[in-house]
Amino acid sequence: MAFESLTERLNGVFKKLRGKGKLNEADIKAAMREVRMALLEADVNYKVAKDFCAQVSERAMGQEVMESLTPAQQVVKIVNEELTKLMGGDEPQYLHIKNKGQTVLMMCGLQGNGKTTHAAKLGKYYRSQGRRPLLVACDVYRPAAIQQLQIVGEQAGVPVFTMGTEKPEHIAQQAMAHARDHGNDIVILDTAGRLQIDDALMDELVRIKEAVEVDETLLVVDAMAGQEAVNVAKTFNEKIGITGVVLTKTDGDTRGGAALSVLAVTGKPIYFQGTGEKLEDLEPFYPSRMASRILGMGDVLSLIEKAQSVQNDKEAEAAARRMMENKFDMNDLLAQFQQVKKMGGASALLAMMPGGNQIDADALDDKMLPRIEAIIYSMTPAERAKPEIINPKRKRRIAAGSGQTVEAVNKLLRQYEMMQKMMKKVRRNPKGFMRSLGNL
Ligand code: GDP
């Protein structure tokens, strides 16, 4: 299983801190030395490991005290937050897919890292969101590569554009014309790989980028390659400019180095992770989930989340104030949902939202949260601020953009309306409302 040894090492470090009443500087220093060793063993870039430990030490020694946590738990909390930050923050990064015209994704990377497989996985992923992707065979050196793309394309239910062994930049151009004619809105270019980086490969990729307007240059990186993968990412970024990374084979025996160092070294986020050989084995990359997985301390982390709910209550109060002033919109709703996710469930939302017990709990089961989030993400800023402008046409667009049904969009809007109504009632009797807040 991935990350096992890093998880074990970190757990060993935290175990030693447990039982100590108060941590002094020497305790923290000793712990951080071991954390650094654990990271280096996991093939994390040296500088990244060093900076990471410096940051954690600084925070651990600072005045960051939460009464409900022991000193050791506080260190776990800080390490977890810093791991999450290192990989990009709480929320996953999404590719920028345009609502009009074609979005071009260029897949590049070394041979065998999973480029062709992930071109097809992305095709399938976006197809399931109501998009019309097109796969394009720009790896013209191996006939087997074209054939492989055709096979996975068929499995994914995504059309494949091929032109044999023409020049890759020419194929890319023709593919764009084909996409325009056939209504394909996402064009995924599968380019050639090499066993190692060479100038001819880089030149070829640059020529493709000059021939067509590439929106996202995605480097496909094998997680099992560790630090070597990060060096490859650095070179690709310098030579052709990547916009992000698809981290493959995270189901394998990876040590964590690539996941932990790639953003710090290249400045480019990991968008997706491949979790298996099958075409559905693709997930958006959630830094916070990856951090929890690396720490492997479900119980401690959930305790920390509970401690943070005190903070969340304060934020809920601020949201409540906005409700009172009649300013509560979809942005606030989204912020609330994100907090809920952090706290771990819809039941928490119901406890947190003033009057939340009036909301249908079944309609808000935890699987709904990511879907609701996707719907709100697909709204324009104007729609979020004023959901009443969302007419049937907008609903259809939001549904397509979020990969959800119009029905689901309607449901969310109804729930929003219900909340608005409830808030009106509350505004009429603010004293009673504030009292109910106090009782939460
Ligand atoms: P390319 O040369 O970069 O196009 O690599 P391929 O797409 O042909 O993939 C190389 C091998 O890795 C194939 O056997 C894939 O099935 C396998 N592979 C790709 N992605 C993953 C993944 O996320 N997990 C696992 N376990 N295997 C993968």
Q: What are phi and psi of 222, to 5 degrees?
A: -80, 115
Q: What are phi and psi of 43, to 5 degrees?
A: 75, 30
Class of domain 4-86: mainly alpha
Atom of ligand 1 nearest to the CA of 121: 20
For residues 205 and 242, give the distance between their C-alpha atoms in angstroms, rounded to a whole number.
Answer: 11
State yes or no: 115 annotated in a binding site: yes
For residues 171 and 139, give the distance between their C-alpha atoms in angstroms, rounded to a whole number.
Answer: 10
Q: pLDDT digit string (tens) for 263-310?
A: 999 999 999 999 999 999 999 999 988 888 888 766 666 666 666 665
**Domains of the chain by residue range:** 4-86, 103-286, 298-438
Contact 72, 17 (CB under 8 A): yes
- Ligand 1 atom 26 nearest Cα: 276
Ranked by mean pLDDT, which of 125-134, 398-407, 421-430 comes out on top? 125-134
CATH 3.40.50.300 fits 103-286, yes or no: yes
CB within 6 Å of ligand 1 — which residues? 109, 111-117, 193, 220, 248-249, 251-252, 274-277, 281
3-class DSSP assignment, residue 100:
coil
For residues 137 and 151, give the distance between their C-alpha atoms in angstroms, rounded to a whole number.
Answer: 12
State yes or no: 250 annotated in a binding site: yes
Percentage of residues of the chain with pLDDT beyond 90: 48
Rounded mean pLDDT of 211-239? 93
Other CB atoms within 10 Å distance of the CB of residue 255? 21
- Please report, for residues 323, 344, 359, 383, 436, the alpha-carbon distance to residue 318 in angstroms, rounded to integers and kept in the order given: 9, 20, 20, 22, 15
3-class DSSP assignment, residue 342:
helix
State yes or no: 191 annotated in a binding site: yes
The CATH label, of 1.10.260.30, 1.10.287.1080, 3.40.50.300, 3.60.20.10, for the domain at 298-438 is 1.10.260.30
State yes or no: 278 annotated in a binding site: no
Is 70 exceeded by the pLDDT of residue 10?
yes
**Which of 226-240, 382-396, 419-433 has the least mean pLDDT?**
419-433
Residues ≥6 apart with Cβ < 8 Å to 269: 88, 93, 244, 245, 263, 285
Ranked by mean pLDDT, which of 9-13, 33-37, 203-207, 401-405 comes out on top? 203-207
For residues 359 and 320, give the distance between their C-alpha atoms in angstroms, rounded to a whole number.
Answer: 16
Q: What is the ipTM of this complex?
A: 0.99
Mean pLDDT taken over the chain: 84
For residues 212 and 215, give the distance between their C-alpha atoms in angstroms, rounded to a whole number.
Answer: 9
HSE toward the beta carbon, residue 374, CA cutoff 13 A: 19
For residues 420 and 229, give the distance between their C-alpha atoms in angstroms, rounded to a whole number.
Answer: 50
How many angstroms separate the alpha carbon of residue 172 from the centre of ligand 1?
23
State yes or no: 237 annotated in a binding site: no
How many angstroms separate the alpha carbon of residue 194 from the centre of ligand 1?
14
How many angstroms separate the alpha carbon of residue 118 from the centre of ligand 1?
8
**DSSP letters along 209-262, please?**
HHHS--SEEEEEEEGGGHHHHHHHHHHHHHHH---EEEEE-TTSS--SHHHHHH
- If phi > 0 it is left, if psi is from -120 to 50 it is alpha, else beta; for residue 284 that is beta
| Angle, helix 392-402 to helix 368-377, in steps of 10 degrees | 120
Rounded mean pLDDT of 192-209? 91
For residues 29 and 32, give the distance between their C-alpha atoms in angstroms, rounded to a whole number.
Answer: 5
Characterize the bridge pairing of strands 270-274 and 282-284.
antiparallel
Strand order, beta sheet including 103-108? 160-161, 133-137, 186-190, 103-108, 216-222, 244-248, 270-274, 282-284
How many angstroms separate the alpha carbon of residue 248 from the centre of ligand 1?
8
3-class DSSP assignment, residue 39:
helix
Residues ≥6 apart with Cβ < 8 Å to 392: 406
Atom of ligand 1 nearest to the CA of 110: 3
Q: pLDDT digit string (tens) for 78-130?
A: 999 999 999 999 888 899 999 899 999 999 999 999 999 999 999 999 999 99
Rounded mean pLDDT of 51-65? 83
Mutate to test the pocket of ligand 1, among 106, 115, 117, 122 (most ligand atoms within 8 A of CB): 117
Q: pLDDT digit string (tens) for 346-375?
A: 554 454 444 444 445 545 556 677 788 889
Other CB atoms within 10 Å distance of the CB of residue 377? 14
Beta bridge partners, 284, equal: 272
- pLDDT for the residue numbered 357: 45
Contact 316, 353 (CB under 8 A): yes
For residues 317 and 427, give the distance between their C-alpha atoms in angstroms, rounded to a whole number.
Answer: 15
